[in-house]
Structure 1
Amino acid sequence: MSEQIKDVLDAVGPRLRALRRQRAITLADLSATTGISESTLSRLESGGRRPNLELLLPLAHAYDVPLDDLVGAPRTGDPRVHLHPIHRHGMTFIPLSRRPGGVQAYKMLIPSRGEPAEPTPQTHSGHEWLYVLNGRLRLVLGDRDLTLPPGEAAEFDTAQPHWLGTADGKAVELLILFGLQGERVHVQPRTT
């Protein structure tokens, strides 16, 4: 094993311990979350056990961080998010985040249709926040039928029947934050 690899592996344990303490998680709690025994976690943090993918992958998932962060890998490559559009229900969703789990960000494009479509409300688990960039969005939410112009935002539980479309037949462009576990957007007020 090269000296460089040995140095990287030796730094993993202290990094894991610091991360666990920073988040105020006990070894017992981490063991319950990951399925890794407390003794293995302790030896991993103290350097008594070499890290491997079988141990690091569940830890990265439990801490909700990229594996590179756990091993201290240097940042390489292009930092830009490479957009791969998803086409669903006649709309285009462009993922703006690539972090696994948690809240996901999308730019959504509803094409011009000439005339507004007939709403077909759907439900699914999660929580959604949206912000209209361009166009006029028609949001059908339960028994409410709303029109949101550019600059307006809405937030709702997606277990409620909902539908998004163009209010006037013209294209609509919006940002969406979506969380599977019902995460909500929290805005901190500015203190003066």
Structure 2
Amino acid sequence: MTQELDLDAVIRARIRGLRLARGWSLDALATRCGLSASTLSRIETGHRRIAIDQLSPIARALGTSIDQLVELTSDDDVVIHPRRNAAHGHTTWLLTREDELGGLVVAKMRITARRRTGALGVHPGHEWFTVLSGTARLQLGERVLLVEEGQSAQFSTMVPHAITAAEGPLEIIVVLDREGRRAHLDPGSGDVEDRAPAPSH
């Protein structure tokens, strides 16, 4: 029952919002959808239940569909939640959906790990990042570059590489291409936290 009441409230708010966005009065919408202005007013204010046969002409007049009027969404479609990976010393916020921007993924990362022992990572593709705060230590094979706040770096990931914090916490915006996403976001196993792009590979 609660979900039904919530859906009614969502539909009413969408009808009213779309009407106002177009600058239409109740009379203007009534003329376009064939309902009376008083009926529309009662629908928008919740004093009248919305009948399914009324939704179709209202949706058509507002330039939308019944599906879009009745679709329930959750905060998960809007709010970005951090993915923490204590083992690698970083927290990641995905800023795009993983299936958008032609395969590119944009993420904000907070990195606290200064150094990582072991082999550097290699995979096909390119990566790009810009430093929001702190200093990044970018290792490319034998080369070590310091990337300061406000600076950016772009490199081929076929070069063995790692990104760590030079001094204190580091915050970056990173863009991963299709191959980078596969290497960092789509491992064969692991929980959701392990699917964040790793700051060092």
Going by fraction, where is helix more abundant, 1 or 2? 2
Structure having the higher Rg:
2
